[in-house]
Amino acid sequence: MGSAKPPVTIKPGDSSDIKVTIKTAGKSGAMTKTITVVTNDPREPNRAMNLTSTVVLPAGAMSHPEFKGAQEILRGQCMSCHVTPGIGKKGAVLYEAACAMCHGDQGEGKTAAALNQPGMAQRDDKAVFEIIAKGIQARGMPGFLKGEVESGPYDKAQLESLVTFIKGWQRKPAGAAPKS
Ligand code: HEC
Ligand code: HEC
């Protein structure tokens, strides 16, 4: 997208090719990409073109959201998108890489519960840590602590940084009365 190409001269009635790359990682189903062709045509200098396509997963490939157990997202072919981007990361970056797809970019909830809910800041750090470490397997929340659960990818310091990060959404301003 947006790469400036040297001007191409096309005579009236002539044609030329435009090369468009669409990144399909993590996508499936209908996709639209808009490209703008800038010309010296006095009547219509900018012409937008929509390229629609359907991303079909190869037979046997994963398709969202079908999966068998909470830990599966942390193994095999799922790791490149769901685990690797968070390796060595902490806080907001780790959250975005490992949690946002289920809990929402701002913790507002998505396929899983909201984490920016009132009361989160008052929860015991250790209890919240335990949830992230071991998961809630029966409900689809994976455990993330290395050495604690099968295929747990991240270390203690990384998960502690997540506790601080998610509790930060609801941190009360100084002097506010504690709730519950
Ligand atoms: C090519 C990258 C990629 C791979 C590989 C991948 N995912 Fe995902 N996954 C994503 C993206 C991107 C999202 C977020 C989609 C969104 O925000 O709507 C996501 C979201 C999810 C979600 C949460 C939202 C939902 O639809 O339920 C689950 C669960 C999930 N993936 C499981 C898996 C499992 C299990 C595997 C392996 C079998 C896997 N993913 C492999 C990219 C990937
Ligand atoms: C595959 C989806 C998925 C991913 C990825 C995921 N979670 Fe969860 N999480 C859940 C589900 C499901 C629950 C159970 C609550 C519910 O049913 O929505 C849950 C529950 C939680 C809870 C308890 C909420 C409460 O109110 O008690 C916390 C805290 C939490 N997740 C944090 C995280 C963090 C931090 C990450 C990233 C390291 C993460 N989750 C990644 C699905 C997910």
Closest-approaching ligand to the CA atom of 61: 1
What would the mean pLDDT of 37-43 be, rounded to a whole number?
85
Q: Give the ligand 1 atom nearest the CA of 140.
A: 29
Spatial distance between the Cα atoms of 80 and 165, rounded to a whole number of angstroms: 24
Q: Give the ligand 1 atom nearest the CA of 102.
A: 23
Structural contact between residues 31 and 55, judged by C-beta atoms closer than 8 angstroms: yes
pLDDT of 61 > 50? The answer is: yes
Torsion region of 175: left, alpha or beta (phi above 0 gives left; psi -120 to 50 gives alpha): left
Residue ranges of the domains in the chain? 19-56, 70-168
For the chain, where are the E strands, in sequence order?
Answer: 29-38, 46-55
User: What average pLDDT does the structure give for the chain?
Assistant: 85
Q: Does ligand 1 lie within 6 Å of residue 111's CB atom?
A: yes
Q: Give the ligand 2 atom nearest the CA of 86.
A: 38
| pLDDT digits 0-9 by tens, 112-157 | 999 999 889 999 999 999 999 999 998 999 999 999 999 999 999 9
For atom 30 of ligand 2, the residue with the nearest CA is 132
pLDDT of 1 > 50? The answer is: no
Per DSSP, the three-state class of 4 is coil
| Residues lining ligand 2, Cβ inside 6 A | 73, 98-99, 101-103, 112-113, 115, 128, 131-132, 136, 139-142, 144, 162, 166
Report which listed range, 12-21, 25-34, 63-72, 113-122, is most confident: 113-122
Q: Please name the fold of domain 70-168.
A: Cytochrome Bc1 Complex; Chain D, domain 2 (1.10.760)
For atom 13 of ligand 1, the residue with the nearest CA is 101
- Per the model's pLDDT, the better-predicted residue between 123 and 58 turns out to be 123
Q: Mutual orientation of helices 156-168 and 91-98 as an angle, nearest 10°? A: 90
The verdict on pTM exceeding 0.75 is no
